[in-house]
Amino acid sequence: MKFAVLLLLGSLLACTSADDNSVLIATASSFRPALEVLAPALNDKCNTNIQISSGSTGALITQIRQGAPFDLLISADQNLSKSLANSPTNNYRLDAAFARSPMAYWQPKASAKKLTIAIANPKTAPFGRAAMQVIGQTKPDLITAANAGQAFVFVHTKAANAGYVPLPLLIAAKIPNTEFELIAEDTYSPIFLHNVRLKRNLTLDCLSDQLNALQTITMLAGFGYLPP
């Protein structure tokens, strides 16, 4: 388990840049572990070399608007992505959702006298807004992370006692299911994953098709993702 967690933390904090033969994918931080597992097969199928950068969807879209050289965005915020794709100044293409991501409440140990809860930034991260919908009018002591991946790290490193985090991150890190509980889906707005093609070429068409393929959806079920 320790090895798996270290691998996950490394992948969440890493950010690589593209070379001439690669496709640079910007992905919601919650999807990064699954994308790293998928990448070798995607590279073979589409004859490319995937490089990955991750963060909150809102922060990634801000970077795209400021000229970041991403080729494909895997977004967890459909409204923001629609706004980006519908801008008259670009030629982006928004694809249909290919997966839905559940959220869980993770509390590794019995709470201390003062419970602190990590959530992603509600201003830029869909999981942060989902967490606030669940929390409602209660007033817990919150620690705000930049994105869902960092919220996971805060709980893992004990910077927070608990957190609202994506279920796929817990499964990827092999966190025992006795430490978390799944949040009822009717208590927050659903979080869908979908592609925004930021350039137009056959490689990106291939990657988008593969992410929507049945074998990919089946693999994603192992990370806790649900059909859209």
Place of tokens 């915020």: 77
Instruction: Kindly tell me if the per-residue pLDDT of 10 is higher than 90.
Output: no
Task: Quote the pLDDT of residue 65.
Answer: 93
54 contacts 171 by C-beta, under 8 angstroms: no
Average confidence (pLDDT) over 89-108: 93
131 contacts 60 by C-beta, under 8 angstroms: no
Average confidence (pLDDT) over 110-122: 84
pTM for the model: 0.86
CATH topology of domain 2-100+191-221: D-Maltodextrin-Binding Protein; domain 2 (3.40.190)
Query: Residue 109's pLDDT band (boundaries 50, 70, 90)?
Result: confident
Task: Quote the pLDDT of residue 20.
Answer: 58
Domain 2-100+191-221 and domain 103-187, same fold? Reply is yes
Query: Residue 111's pLDDT band (boundaries 50, 70, 90)?
Result: low
* 103-187: CATH, from 3.40.190.10, 3.90.1170.50, 3.40.50.10310, 3.90.1300.10: 3.40.190.10
Instruction: Kindly tell me if the per-residue pLDDT of 39 is higher than 70.
Output: yes
Task: Quote the pLDDT of residue 137.
Answer: 79
Task: Give how far Cα 191 sits from Cα of 95, 129, 135, 148, 152, Å.
Answer: 15, 10, 17, 12, 17
Query: Residue 215's pLDDT band (boundaries 50, 70, 90)?
Result: confident
148 contacts 103 by C-beta, under 8 angstroms: no
Task: Quote the pLDDT of residue 205.
Answer: 94
In this structure, are strands 116-120 and 103-106 parallel, antiparallel, or unpaired? unpaired
Q: For the chain, what are the domain ranges?
A: 2-100+191-221, 103-187
Per-chain mean pLDDT for the chain: 89
Question: Tell me: the pLDDT tens digits for 54-84?
Answer: 999 999 999 999 999 999 999 999 999 999 9
Q: 215 Cβ partners below 8 Å, 6+ apart? A: none
Average confidence (pLDDT) over 1-15: 46
Task: Quote the pLDDT of residue 7.
Answer: 43
Task: Quote the pLDDT of residue 16.
Answer: 42
Task: Give how far Cα 163 sits from Cα of 103, 128, 130, 205, Å.
Answer: 10, 10, 12, 36
114 vs 147, more confident: 147
